[in-house]
Amino acid sequence: MVIKVNRYIYWILFTLLATPVTLYVTGTFSLFNAVMTFLIILALTTSFHLIIELIFHVVNPEFFEYNEDIFYDVKWKWDWNLDKQVLNLRPYCPHCEKELYSTFDTLLNQTEFVCTVCDKQITNVNSSNRNFVPDSVKKSIVRKLKKEDNSF
């Protein structure tokens, strides 16, 4: 799963911690030097973060933004890797947005999706095995992307 971390908090904390350390190492404790050191470190960390954002924004393809859709009356969310593979495919309730519980009935050959929060069955999908629905959703995601984006 791709975890997005708010780096700006760490950026400010780093600047606040680096300023007194720099002043201690240099041995200059005047207010002017403290303000200038703070501003220089802030400018350097800002430049560093802008360069990193630019690099990673260019590296991430557009299909990374397509990470949720509705299939079989169920909202699905997923992540991508750079090899264009769907990762961490998860079903969610279209009403309350909570993750669904799925069971496979071997006698009826169907997968049932149930929301424990709404306390209702969202859908039943006729399926030949336990992995049929997730595999089918992955294929539908790729098919939809290929239809909309020729470079995919």
- CB count within 10 Å of CB 50 equals 10
Measured between alpha carbons, how far is 47 from 25 in angstroms, rounded to an integer? 23
Phi, psi at residue 28, to the nearest 5°?
-110, 115
Q: What predicted TM-score, i.e. pTM, was given to this entire model?
A: 0.59
Condensed to tens digits (0 to 9), the pLDDT of residues 60-88 reads 667 778 889 999 999 999 988 878 888 89
Condensed to tens digits (0 to 9), the pLDDT of residues 17-53 reads 788 888 888 887 788 888 888 888 888 888 887 887 7
Q: What pLDDT is recorded for position 71? A: 92
Measured between alpha carbons, how far is 32 from 44 in angstroms, rounded to an integer? 18
